[in-house]
Amino acid sequence: MKTMISITKKPWFLALLVIIFASMSAWNIPIEKRKYGLSQSGLATDYTGLLPGKIEQVIPSENIEQLQKIIKDSNKHGKHISIAGLQHSQGGHTYYKNGTVLDMKNMNKILEINEQEKTVRVEAGASWGDIQESINPYGLALKVTQSQSIFTVGGSLSVNAHGRDIRNGSMAGTVKEMTLITPAGEVKKLKRGDQLMQEVLGGYGLFGVIADVTLELTDNDVYSMHTKELQTKEYEEYFHKAVENEKVGFHYARVSVAPGSFLNEMYAIDYNVTGEKDNSTPLKGESAVRLSKFALDLGRSGGRLEDFFWESQKQFSRSFNGDTVTRNNAMRSESDFMEFTVPGRVEVLQEFFVPVDSFEEYINELKNTLPSNDKHEDFKVHNITVRFTERDSFTHLRYAKKDMLGLVVLIQHGVNDKQMQHAENMIQKWTEATLKFGGTYYLPYYPYQTKDQFRRAYPEWEAFKEQKKRVDPNEVFVNLFYNHYLKD
């Protein structure tokens, strides 16, 4: 005991203690450092923080009666409301100048799980992660979600999101019933096929508040993963085979944006059904975040390091060839490693959709639109993932008029006026190339596109606007997205 006490008094021991503890603290400094989102008093932003706006107030949601009262009151007094889920949309979809923001996060209860019918009824502020936690023990899984589970049900349905599942159609198509609070403050129970429901899905929070939803579920299948490296020109054929092969449940691919193999190389990942179901594998959490972030940061440096990053991505994809994964876990990829906080710069997402059979020509067109080595450019493309989105016959602002391949693009650029202008020019050029092939672009992201490009990509915009006028004549529900694209 005495020796113990005398050791603790030794300067070398104390120095060691400091070193150990400091290293441990440094390792645990959170990756997520960005401050964004809602604040009672000041500016509201969303995921990018690119469109800060002064709002009047944030009201945390409690229950349907409270929401009804707020909406009726706003309707009567000509006030504006925006609806916020987890605010991962990036184009000011969740707030409006001097308006009220309904923060839906508190309404996140799982109301009912029906094992026989394979459905779940949830409040709209619940995240996909919340639902997965409650259904995983029953061996059930969601039919369509994004690849990550960090979004709310209400937010995702309002943008009609999509993911890696190639068998279950659009997210909107998985909704059986919903409770909506209309702009007049009425509570309506809607069923699949009701026109109003069709407007709300993919309605960007402009047709009322989704309070709760009944979603169709499926079994928590076990998949085996298969990876394949290929040239971009071979992809169309490979993809058709994947779709025809009924065993393939999930599919996505990555296209190289590294200078040495720019838009030439790809790798594809198929998730094949094994026939097994699972109700015991726990849900996975975020893992190896630091390592993945380090790798992505290498890619962000551009040039040779980006080549190295691409090689390591391929290597990584080879490493899990043959592994198995449950459906629930396949639908909850890591997201923390994407964290990017360099002052004066921003990393944004864009997504372009092209008809499946135009993929090869489209990629060739992009080779002429984008610089292959962006190391010294302000506008940098870090990642392109390819997804399948089946033809959507549900929503009005539909991005998948046919079966489409979506290119999800991670882009970084500076935020001073000149850099913003340059980014806008580049993305408008990219959008133009996409429109040329009968494609569209995704609307939950920052609106670099012109109003004219929006109208050409979404010819149903007029019908959407008409319906908005009919359902919400006093414009109770608005947001910056509405202001940018749809307001006269």
Partner 1 sequence: MEKNSQRLIPLIVTVGQVVIFPYYIIWLKEVSMSFTLFAWLFAVFSFSAAWGFRTYSVKKPDSSAYISAIYSGMGLVYIAAGWMVFPVEMLPYAALLMQIGLGFLQGYFRAWHIQKPSYRVHAVHHYLLVGIIMIGLSFVKIFSPSIFLILFGVLLFISGWW
Ligand X SMILES: Cc1cc2nc3c(=O)[nH]c(=O)nc-3n(C[C@H](O)[C@H](O)[C@H](O)COP(=O)(O)OP(=O)(O)OC[C@H]3O[C@@H](n4cnc5c(N)ncnc54)[C@H](O)[C@@H]3O)c2cc1C
Residue type, 465: K
Distance CA 117, CA 161 (A): 24
**81 sits near ligand X (criterion: CB under 6 A):** no
Residue 409 sits at the vertex; the CA angle it makes with 403 and 412, to the nearest 5 degrees, is 165
**413 sits near ligand X (criterion: CB under 6 A):** no
Question: At its nearest, how many Å lie between partner 1 and the CB of residue 56?
Answer: 25
Size of the site for partner 1 (CB under 8 A): 19
Task: Please give the DSSP secondary-structure letter assigned to residue 345.
Answer: E
Site for ligand X in 176-235 (CB under 6 A): 204-205, 209-210
Would you say 89 or 434 has its CB closer to ligand X?
Answer: 89
Distance CA 26, CA 329 (A): 29
350 beta partners? 409
Distance CA 331, CA 53 (A): 33
Contact predicate 53/82, CB 8 Å: no
Beta strand pairing call for 265-277 and 248-255: antiparallel
Distance CA 442, CA 73 (A): 33
Distance CA 80, CA 96 (A): 8
Mapped onto helix, strand or coil, the DSSP state of residue 348 is strand
**294 sits near partner 1 (criterion: CB under 8 A):** no
**9 sits near partner 1 (criterion: CB under 8 A):** yes
Among 75, 94, 272, 326, binds ligand X (CB under 6 A): 94
Among 7, 14, 111, 463, binds partner 1 (CB under 8 A): 14
Residue type, 168: N
Among 7, 111, 342, 463, binds partner 1 (CB under 8 A): 342
Question: At its nearest, how many Å lie between ligand X and the CB of residue 443?
Answer: 9
- The 10 Å Cβ neighbour count of residue 60 is 14
**343 sits near partner 1 (criterion: CB under 8 A):** yes
Quick one: CA torsion of 69, 73, 74, 75, rounded to 10 degrees? 100
Distance CA 57, CA 321 (A): 50
Q: Could you tell which of partner 1, ligand X, none binds residue 341, using a CB distance below 5 to 8 A set by kind? A: partner 1
For tokens 């994947």, the residue is 242
**173 sits near ligand X (criterion: CB under 6 A):** no
Reported in sequence order, the residue ranges of 131-264 that DSSP labels E, i.e. its strands, are 140-142, 175-181, 187-191, 209-219, 221-231, 248-255
Window contacting partner 1 (CB under 8 A); options: 16-24, 45-53, 105-113, 318-326? 16-24
Size of the site for ligand X (CB under 6 A): 35
Would you say 67 or 433 has its CB closer to ligand X?
Answer: 67
Among 1, 2, 3, 28, binds partner 1 (CB under 8 A): 28
Question: At its nearest, how many Å lie between partner 1 and the CB of residue 302?
Answer: 18
Among 2, 3, 5, 33, binds partner 1 (CB under 8 A): 33
Among 349, 384, 404, 426, binds ligand X (CB under 6 A): 349
**444 sits near ligand X (criterion: CB under 6 A):** yes
Among 147, 227, 272, 453, binds ligand X (CB under 6 A): 147
* CA 275 centroid distance within chain: 29
Question: At its nearest, how many Å lie between partner 1 and the CB of residue 297?
Answer: 10
Residues lying near ligand X in the complex (CB under 6 A): 47, 82-89, 93-94, 104, 124, 146-148, 151-152, 154-156, 158-159, 161-163, 204-205, 209-210, 335, 338, 349, 444, 479
Residues lying near partner 1 in the complex (CB under 8 A): 9-11, 14-15, 17-18, 21-22, 25-26, 28-30, 33, 35, 341-343
